[in-house]
Chain A
Amino acid sequence: MKRGVRAYFVPAVVFLAVFFYLPFAILLLYSITVPEGGFTLTNYIDIFISRFYLQVMGYSILIAVLTTFFTLVVAYPVAYYIVFKAPQSVKPVIITLMIAPFWIDFLLRAYSIKVLIEPLGMREGFTTLVYGMVYDFFPFMLLPLYAGMSSVPPSLLLSARVYGAGGFHILTRVLIPLTSSSVLAGSLLVFLMSFTEFVIPALLGGVEGYTIGYAVYDLFFKYRDIYRGSALSIILSLGALLGAIMLSRRVKIVQKMLSE
C-alpha cells in the first residue's frame, strides 16, 4: 500500500521528463552541432567572440541592472512602510493594492505603459523601456522584501532607538543587515527575469529594444539558425541555474509565498 502511494509522483515526473528534460537535451545537442553534422563548440565560440552578441548581452545586463536598482529603491521603503508604519486599519488594503498588479497579465501591463506614454507625449525608447520594466517587475521585488521585513522584530528597531541611534544608523546598521537576504533574493529574481525579458523591450523599446531575449527569438524565427539559437539559449539557462543555486534560499521564500 505504501509503495502504491510512493508511486504517485510518477505521472508528474514522466510529463516533465518528456516535455521538459527531453526537449532540453535536444536543445543541448543542437547547440553542439553544425549543419554539416559532427560535434563542435563553434556555436558557443561564435557567440562569445561576436561583437554583436556581446554588445546585446552587455545592453541587456545594463537594462537588468537598472531595473533591479529602481525596483529595489522604490519597493524597499514600501515594504518598510507596510510592516512598521502603516496604521493597522489600512494595512490590508495597502498590501492588496501594492500586490494586486502582480496578477495582471504581464503583457497587458507593458501595453498599458504604451497607452500611457501617448498622451504624455513620451516616445518609445530606452527610458520608456526601463520605466516599463520597473513597472512590470515591481511586485516581484516587493514580495520577497515584504517577507524579509516582516521577520524583523520591531523590538530591535525600538531598542536601537532607545540607545540613541538616529534614523540613518537604524537603517544602515540594523534594518539593511537584517533584510539583506531578502534584498539579495528580490534582486536576483528581478535581475534574472528582466535580463531575458523580450516582450517589454519589443513593445516599449522601439529601435532601442533589442535585448538578448529578442536575439534568441530572432535567431530562431528570423535567421532560422537553430544551432546558434540553441547555444545562446543554453548559455542563458546555465546563467539562470547558477544564479538560482546561489540563491536557493530565495526559492524557498517564493515557495513559502505561494504555498501559504
Chain B
Amino acid sequence: MCRRCSPSNLIWHVYILAVLVFLYAPIAVLILFSFNESKYMTHLTGFTLEWYTRLVENVRILKALENSVSIAIVSAVISTLLGMLAAYSVRRAPYLSLKLDTLMVPPIVIPEVAEAVSLMMFFYMVGAEYGWLTVFIGHTAFNISYAYVTIKGQIHSISPNIEKIAQSLGAGSFAVFRRIVIPLLTPALTASLLVTFITSFSDFVKTVFTTGPGFETLPLYVWRVAVRGRATPELNALATLMILVSLVISIYYTRRIITKLGESYQKQG
C-alpha cells in the first residue's frame, strides 16, 4: 500500500541519487583535497588550511582575481545597459524587433573560438594594446547579446497601458523609462547582470585570444597551472572558493528560473 516504496520508485530514487553523485562527486573530491595536507592527490593525510593561506599570499592570483572581477562587473553593467536600451527600443515595433534579433543573436550562436580569433586579428590590425580593455571588449561583445535576449523576454510583460497612463499624467519619456520601466524590469535586469557577470567571470576562450603578455584572469591562471602537469592543492583551494561563489549565485537564481519556467510551460500545456 506504500506507494513511495514500490520497486519502480526505488529504481527511480537510486537513479536520481546516482546522477547527483555523478554531478557532485568531482566537486566534492576537489573540495576535500583542498583541505588535504599532502601535496599529492592520492591519499587523504590530514586537515590543513595551508593551501588557502598560500592562496591569499599569492600576488599573481590576487591580481588575476582583481582583473576577473573588475572586467566582469564593468562588462555586466555596460552590456545590461545597452541590452536593455535595445530591447526597450523595439518593444512595440515587431518588424524592427525581428531585424534586431537577427543582428543580436549570432554572437551567441557562432563558436566562441571563431569569434575570438576574429577579434584578435581586429585588435592586431588597429594596433590595440592587448590587456584589460581588449579582454573587456571581447566579453562585452557576447554579453550584450545575452543581456538583450534575457531582458527582451520580459519587456513584453510590461503593459503598454501603464506607460500610457504615466504619459497622460504628464510624465516625459525619460521619466516613464526611469520611474516605470526600470522598476518593472528589475527581475530581468538582475537576471541579466548575473548571467553576464558569470559568463565574463568564467570565460576562457575569448580571453585567451584577446589578452596580452602579463595580463591574466582567473580562468587563464587555472588553465596555465592545470594544463601543464597535474592538479595542485593550491589550485584546488582556488577552485573551491570559485565554486562556492557560483553555487551561491546559482541556488539563488536557479530556483527562480526553474519554477517560473515550469509554471509558464504548464500554463501553455
CB nearest neighbor in B for A25? B118
Contacting residues, chain B, for A199 (C-beta < 8 A): 204-205, 223
Contact of A104 (CB < 8 Å), options: B108, B226, B250? B250
User: Contact: A115 with B122, CB < 8 Å?
Assistant: no
Shortest distance from the beta carbon of B119 to any chain A beta carbon, whole Å: 5
Q: A152-B269, A259-B152 are in contact. Are A216 and B113 (CB under 8 A)?
A: yes
Closest to A226 in B: B121
B residues in contact with A58, CB < 8 Å: none
Asked if residues A105 and B90 are in contact (CB atoms below 8 Å), the reply is: no
The answer to whether A9 and B23 touch (CB under 8 A), given A26-B122, A255-B152, is: no
Q: Mark B142-164, 1 if CB is under 8 A from A, else 0.
A: 10111011111110000000000
Contact residues in A for B145 (Cβ distance below 8 Å)? 16
CB-defined contacts of A192 to chain B, threshold 8 Å: 111
Q: Which of B238-269 contact A (CB under 8 A)?
A: 239, 242-243, 246-247, 249-251, 253-255, 257-262, 264-266, 268-269
Q: Given contacts A23-B118, A92-B255, A151-B269, is CB(A202)–CB(B249) below 8 Å?
A: no
Task: Assess whether A118 is in contact with B231, with CB atoms less than 8 Å apart.
Answer: yes
Assembled-state Cα–Cα distance A199/B152 (Å): 31
A window 2-18: CB within 8 A of B? 4-9, 11-13, 15-16
CA distance A27 to B177 in the complex (A): 39
- Residues from chain B with a CB closer than 8 A to the CB of A234 are 114
Q: How far is the CA of A9 from the CA of B92 in the complex (A)?
A: 13
Q: B250: nearest residue on chain A (CB-CB)?
A: A103
Our count of residue pairs bridging A and B at CB distance below 8 angstroms stands at: 290
Contact of A150 among B154, B249, B250, B261 (CB under 8 A): B261
Q: Which residue of B lies closest to A74 (CB)?
A: B19
Chain A CB within 8 A of B26 CB: yes
Within 8 A of B (CB), among A78-99: 78, 81, 83, 85, 87, 92, 94-99
Tell me, yes or no, whether B105 is within 8 Å of chain A by CB: yes
Chain B nearest CB, measured from A259 CB (Å): 2
Which chain A positions have C-beta within 8 A of B25? 116
- B255 contacts A147, C-beta separation under 8 Å: no
Known: A8-B88, A9-B86, A98-B19. A107 touches B118 (CB 8 A): no
Q: Which residues of B contact A140 (CB under 8 A)?
A: none
Contacts of A94 in B (CB 8 A): 16
Q: Does B103 contact A (CB under 8 A)?
A: yes
Q: Is A48's beta carbon under 8 Å from chain B?
A: no
Q: In the complex, what residues of A have CB within 8 A of residue B64's CB?
A: none
Contacts of B188 in A (CB 8 A): 259
> Contacting A115 at CB < 8 Å: which of B41, B96, B209?
B41
Decide if A24 is an interface residue (CB 8 Å cutoff): yes
B117 adjacent to A230 (CB under 8 Å): yes
Given contacts A96-B258, A107-B223, A115-B231, whether A19 and B246 have CB atoms under 8 Å apart is: no
Contact residues in A for B111 (Cβ distance below 8 Å): 192, 195-196, 213, 233, 236-237, 240
Contact of B20 among A97, A115, A226 (CB under 8 A): A97
Within 8 A of A (CB), among B199-258: 201-202, 204-205, 209, 219, 222-223, 226-227, 230-231, 235-236, 239, 242-243, 246-247, 249-251, 253-255, 257-258
Contacting residues of chain A (48-65) with chain B, CB-CB under 8 angstroms = none
Query: Which residues of chain A from 93 to 133 have any CB-CB distance to chain B below 8 Å in the complex?
Result: 94-109, 111-116, 118-119
Q: Are A102 and B109 in contact (CB under 8 A)?
A: no
A102 contacts B250, CB within 8 Å? yes
CB <8 Å contact, A9 and B109:
no
Report yes or no: A135 in contact with B110, Cβ–Cβ below 8 A: no
Q: Does A146 contact B (CB under 8 A)?
A: yes
Asked if B195 lies at the interface with its beta carbon under 8 angstroms from chain A, I say: yes
Q: How near does chain A come to B57, taking the closest CB pair, in angstroms? A: 21
CB distance from B134 to the nearest CB of A (A): 10
The residues of B that contact A109 with a CB separation of less than 8 Å are 26-27
30 contacts between A and B (CB under 8 A): A6-B96, A7-B89, A11-B86, A15-B140, A19-B138, A20-B106, A22-B122, A26-B125, A92-B259, A96-B254, A97-B24, A100-B250, A101-B23, A103-B246, A103-B254, A106-B204, A107-B202, A107-B222, A112-B239, A115-B33, A116-B30, A135-B26, A146-B261, A150-B261, A152-B269, A198-B113, A199-B204, A213-B111, A230-B118, A237-B114
Given contacts A234-B114, A258-B191, 15 further A-B contacts (CB under 8 A): A11-B85, A11-B86, A12-B83, A12-B85, A15-B144, A19-B140, A92-B255, A95-B259, A108-B239, A109-B27, A111-B222, A115-B33, A146-B258, A255-B152, A257-B257
